[in-house]
């Protein structure tokens, strides 16, 4: 159940991150800054996922 539970938790949290992302997008001083913030956080999230699936696959 551990993985199912992790998936449930992340799905339930996703809406909060979504709302925060929208607020960030609209509060950033310039459109460029707004994009950069999104891309940067996106890249971090993607790399965590990437590292996790590589190590997860090895183990």
Binding residues for another protein, rule: CB under 8 A, are 1, 3-12, 14-15, 18-19, 22-23, 26-27, 29, 49
34 near 24, Cβ under 8 Å? yes
Cα torsion angle, 25, 31, 36, 39, sign: positive
Min dist. Cβ of residue 40 to another protein (A): 20
Place of tokens 């800054």: 33
Min dist. Cβ of residue 26 to another protein (A): 4
Min dist. Cβ of residue 45 to another protein (A): 11
């Amino acid at each position: 159940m551990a993985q199912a539970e992790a998936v449930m938790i992340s799905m339930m949290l996703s809406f909060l991150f979504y709302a925060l992302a929208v607020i960030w997008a609209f509060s950033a001083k310039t459109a460029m800054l707004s994009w950069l913030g999104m891309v940067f956080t996106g890249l971090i999230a993607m790399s965590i996922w990437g590292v996790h699936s590589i190590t997860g696959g090895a183990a």
